Structure 1
Amino acid sequence: MTCPFDRAQALEQRQRDQAIAAQLARPRSTGPSLTHCQDCDREIPAARQALGGMTRCVPCQTTFEKGAHR
């Protein structure tokens, strides 16, 4: 008999894997990144710029995404 905790853990892992796959499948911006955030004008870190197509700093992007999902 399978332990309920094992089943719950397997379900959680499946859901996590599906969420990660869905995010990776979303189209991403391409091209050069901006050096400064289009919303607050703070500098975008070089590591974030290297991803390509970045136009906002992390705090502004987080706010933008939360507002878009409402």
Structure 2
Amino acid sequence: MILVIDDDIAVRTSLKFLLKKEGHQVNTADSQETALLVIHEEIPELILMDMNFSLETSGKEGIELLKKIKKNQR
């Protein structure tokens, strides 16, 4: 399963459409919280994610989410 994490519905929808068209199983999440719930249910083979979930463009939010995902997979 490929997990697409992005707060922009257009990005999520487009990527889901394109990846499904190529035969991939795709799940989406619109927030960090939703992403963690999805990952708790099924570990994705690949994660495509936005690094910013607010107006800040430092990528800090994405790095924090990656840390949480990694911590939960131990």
TM-score by structure 2 length? 0.27
**Rg bigger for which structure?**
1
Q: Which has the higher helix share?
A: 1
Q: Which has the higher strand share?
A: 2
